Amino acid sequence: MIDKNNKRRLVRALEYVITNRQSFSQAQKKGSPLFNALQLGIKIDRDKLYKRIDLRVEQMIKAGLIYEVKKLLKKYPADLPAFDSIGYREIIDYLQGKITLDKAISLIKQNTRRYAKRQLTWFKRDKRIKWIENYKQAEKLINDILPVFKNS
């Protein structure tokens, strides 16, 4: 079921139906996987993850995020859906004088942390993912399944 208030998803569903001549609900039905894949998730301490996010945001600012957004705004309107991405919206608000640069940076960090938390919640529900903490654990899991592939 598609939320009728979610315009992007409605448009995507209509595009799919028109292009594929198949109902959108049929496309969402899961069949057997095409490949036998090992899916690994990397466990990381939340504080460590959040520190990495904060550092990455600082690096993005130093690397020219503000200049990039200014350049894009010369070419495209600020209300473009692509500008709703984390980082762009906050920098646009800063450039439009709605918030300070410090506030924009703080919001980018906060919104990225929230996004990371939602991703972890989403992936933890997937029972196919094997969660690991280090390279040795990954190596062991890989070696455990390699004989399966060699004998296929």
Query: CB–CB of 128/39 below 8 Å?
Result: yes
Counts of helices then strands in the chain (DSSP H, E): 7, 2
Domain regions of the chain by residue span = 1-31, 38-150
**85: which 2 tokens?**
């991405």
Tens-place pLDDT, residues 15-38: 888 888 887 777 666 677 777 788
User: For residue 108, what is the enclosing H or E element?
Assistant: helix 101-124
Query: CB–CB of 73/92 below 8 Å?
Result: yes
Phi then psi dihedrals of residue 108, to 5 deg: -60, -45
Please give the span between the terminal C-alpha atoms of the chain, in angstroms, as a whole number.
39
Percent of the chain's residues with pLDDT above 70: 93
The CA distance from 70 to 140, in Å, is 47
More confident residue, 146 or 30: 146
Please state the pTM of the whole predicted model. 0.75
**Helix (H/G/I), strand (E/B), else coil: 129:** strand
pLDDT value for 12? 83
Is the alpha carbon torsion for 79, 110, 55, 132 positive or negative? negative
Categorise residue 44: left if φ over 0, alpha if ψ from -120 to 50, beta otherwise: beta
Tens-place pLDDT, residues 86-129: 999 999 999 999 999 999 999 999 999 999 999 999 999 999 99
CATH 1.20.1630.10 fits 38-150, yes or no: no
